[in-house]
Structure 1
């Protein structure tokens, strides 16, 4: 096993994020490029002819109930991928639905301005060769692959038309990304935005985007609460710490890259259901069931402290031990993230902060995680360690702003993500 690694400060400037604008499809003049094309490389990790490949998660979200109410409408979900590859598949979830849902028109293309799709890039997805699919309550479906290569850092529009009344809509309530809802009818194939007049910051039904990549490429899942979800980051700007991490990974050599999936749920807890079922209850679905997952970064616990579900360090420590054991039983490495400070924020107290300090010390020193990323040390105010550094604070003293998320994403030692068990 790779030696356990602990990081207590951001990486050096040599690991700064690449900021070049990403294409969605290869080349930009067409949605996908077959593997035999002579188009120049733009960074996609596409497998060579005859090479062994794995399916890798290039984007993902944690599915829960939403407040959306949809009937005979189309939702244009905007998502932003990480690693590139070929054979794009999209998974759709009805895990928390109240009725079976039928999708009779599902399209994916390169997202343009607002609700538009870049002309000529929208392509219809099929499911077992059919353009229509019915998803039972509690189930999910995976589309057939689309031929050709997908570039890394692609911003895609996944448009889904639902037949009839959808009931309770499964998806991601606080996506921190503007998506769009249409007037009644099937508008999934439309590349123009005219029928999509209603913006939403929730995702509907879309759960993950999966590509084929060389066997060296694996999936990393970030399991967490609102801080992993990116709460208080700039909407539609992809400034979550997981986005920063994904861009850093892509700045490294190909094909030794990693797909990044974000399984954060705002308000989520380790020990109890609330917004989303508990981290323990969703661990299999949101982490272990993801394609070719090799590592999970666990950064969760502040809501257990805030709402007094964890009243002593052992409450969280025992739960972390269970997650570690379950991951290790599947050959998945676990990186432990320390809990960030929130003095001045809602439900803070000195006694809760003392528990946080003890839990963080265990995360750092127990040796039970395969590696540690010390988010606490990265964002706290050195002069007042129970409080977030003002430059990183979004203003509510609980969530970082864009600068804080940048520091967190830069703090992950990329070597720790390549742990093998």
Structure 2
């Protein structure tokens, strides 16, 4: 920009001003980005959870009776109640001196189905669909994978591969049916997935009381144990198995689909604006069916991780609450593949360490559910988190911006001489 292009009174741009603007832009991206908000949401939820633990602690209640005479006792008990619980949670999920990193292996094991199901929910989110049907998709996948595992007797490599394929196909079909009904009839996917969850749950209860699925000699609703050739190999002395490797590969695959493939671009376009995507030539109905089928396949992988990984049998509680926890994982991960992956690890750590926390400190396991709920609350309210930490979108210290175009020159004064 030349000096003549600047409006009167505007200082010429300098190298320092350009650097300040660049630094300010980087700072805004850091402070206003979704990643920092997610981290701060987890931090605030942990702090509030610690305060809740302290509020229910017997020693804290005792020292509160003589707070004004000896306040140090109260604050020491308050600090110990919160920190001791979280230290025990860390020791039960990451590392402790007695077991080493064995708890971390358990965290990875527990995280595997959360990651797979979370990816299915996150992918649907990116396409503008709210997939609450991961629970039913996990159940259907577990039914098909378990049946292939205990009813068919095949060599190791072929058998395990068939179990994986059956589970993924089962989840894909169950999710694809939702997409088909939405695309053809306009029915809302939330209602459809909720209903499909109930259908899958009662279908599982029915099958476990039939001869084909009930273990011989048992009256309880439990299937035969899967053949050794149908389960994931595990690390010696640990429950961690190759299912976690499957979760990593699926994360890479979803990242490639969303960011590198044409179909992923169509998914994101439909999620951003279906009408505009349709105008641009995207087949919205086909994208809806396909994205729900892929989401169901990812949730189906979670079912495979359950029956062929940790449980190795089919029971009525095979899905537990994984399908609904996956929604929380996807929200915390901001519906991104790697964000969902690390959110699944975090929630897996909560689950793995909750038992140790209760045994060591007497803190109820339910406190973990409270912390998870608080995380969802703060994730759903980013302005609240930004306001708590002063990360408002309008920065008060924004550097002066150099104008790109010159202001219009002032009009020349009218001639004072002659002429009417």
TM-score class normalised by the smaller sequence: under 0.3
Structure that is richer in helix per residue: 2
Q: Which has more radius of gyration?
A: 2
Structure that is richer in strand per residue: 1
| TM-score between the two structures when normalised by the length of structure 1 | 0.26
| TM-score between the two structures when normalised by the length of structure 2 | 0.26
